[in-house]
């Protein structure tokens, strides 16, 4: 806990001192990972495990339950698949030591449909995230960046909608971080060919993880049997560790660092 609560610089977050004091005031820093589908948390699973091990209260919000994505299973799309994938997500959170995940069940593949219309999945997402942020007051939020990983529309929409909610909050607001793959680290395999990359200098936030966190992430991937075959489940985390992560997760700020601080009142102008 001390590594998080006594200052974000200890986790490679170079936030000004006033923001660090705000973090230090929290007995148990609150971390949310907001993603589109069960299994999306894999991209930063060791980091979530590490933060929890340090004493942060960490949980995952799933906008959809993946009811349209059978993955490698032979299940039909729909309610039964959604329930099955929620069970896999619950297994993953428990394996990583996290709090119980939140499921909004907004419909896999629907977040971009008529997004500006009242009552649309996107509008419901906004309403539910606003309420959750008001209730939980998170210190740190992880989500997809503009590339959505590999361009998935639900991933892109989740990242954009999270930013829309947080950007209008008064400072100090939660730190919003986008996960990224440093350019030049992506393995040359067909499964990752469409994944986006980010210039390394833009990924100015890193979170180290331990061997125990890596092992927890590897066990958590085993929960997602409907999405990955046995070979992929066994090799995914070691592959990411040796190529992309190399001992730390990579992120970038969604907002300028100074936007984390409350604004100082302007000095009085005297004649």
| Position 270 in a domain | no
Would you give the end-to-end CA distance of the chain in angstroms? 51
* Residue 70: per-residue pLDDT: 87
| Position 149 in a domain | yes
Are the C-beta atoms of 223 and 42 separated by less than 8 Å?
Answer: no
* Residue 257: per-residue pLDDT: 78
| Position 92 in a domain | yes
Please report, in tens digits, the pLDDT of each residue of the chain (271 residues total).
333 333 333 343 434 444 444 444 456 899 999 999 999 999 999 999 999 999 999 999 999 999 998 899 999 999 999 999 999 999 999 999 999 999 999 999 999 999 999 999 999 999 999 999 999 999 999 999 999 999 999 999 999 999 999 999 998 899 999 999 999 999 999 999 999 999 999 999 999 999 999 999 999 999 999 999 999 999 999 999 999 999 999 999 999 876 666 655 445 444 4
Q: Residue 163 and residue 254: Cα distance in Å, rounded?
A: 7
Note down the domain range covering 206.
2-256
Q: Residue 184 and residue 140: Cα distance in Å, rounded?
A: 27
| Position 261 in a domain | no
Residue 193 is classified by DSSP as T
| Position 108 in a domain | yes
What is the three-class DSSP state of 174?
coil
| Position 22 in a domain | yes
Q: pTM for the full model?
A: 0.88
Strand partners, 60: 33
| Position 263 in a domain | no
Q: Please report, for the domain that includes residue 30, its CATH number.
A: 3.40.50.10320
E strand or H helix that includes residue 99: none
The mean predicted confidence, pLDDT, of the chain is 89
Chain segment 118-164, per-residue pLDDT in tens: 999 999 999 999 999 999 999 999 999 999 999 999 999 999 999 99
Q: How many domains does the chain have?
A: 1
| Position 268 in a domain | no
């Amino acid at each position: 806990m001390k590594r998080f609560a006594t200052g974000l610089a200890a986790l490679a977050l170079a936030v000004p001192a006033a923001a660090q004091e705000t973090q230090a005031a929290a007995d148990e820093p609150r971390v949310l990972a907001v993603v589109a589908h069960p299994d999306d948390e894999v991209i930063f699973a060791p980091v979530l495990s590490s933060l929890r091990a340090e004493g942060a209260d960490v949980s995952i919000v799933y906008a959809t339950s993946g009811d349209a994505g059978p993955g490698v299973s032979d299940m039909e799309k729909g309610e039964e698949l959604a329930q099955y994938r929620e069970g896999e997500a619950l297994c993953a959170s428990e394996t990583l030591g996290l709090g119980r995940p939140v499921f909004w069940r907004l419909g896999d593949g629907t977040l971009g449909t008529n997004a500006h219309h009242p009552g649309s999945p996107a509008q419901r997402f906004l309403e539910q995230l606003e309420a959750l942020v008001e209730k939980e007051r998170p210190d740190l939020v992880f989500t997809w960046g503009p590339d959505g990983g590999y361009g998935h529309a639900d991933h892109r929409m989740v990242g954009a909608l999270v930013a829309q909610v947080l950007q209008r909050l008064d400072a100090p607001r939660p730190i919003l971080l986008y996960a990224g793959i440093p350019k030049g680290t992506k393995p040359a395999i067909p499964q990752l060919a469409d994944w986006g990359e980010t210039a390394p200098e833009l990924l100015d936030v890193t979170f180290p993880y331990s061997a125990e966190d890596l092992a927890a992430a590897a066990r958590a991937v085993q929960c997602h049997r409907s999405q990955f075959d046995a070979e992929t489940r066994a090799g995914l985390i070691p592959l990411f560790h040796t190529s992309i992560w190399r001992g730390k997760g990579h992120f970038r700020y969604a907002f300028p660092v100074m936007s984390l601080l409350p604004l100082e009142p302007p000095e009085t102008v005297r004649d």
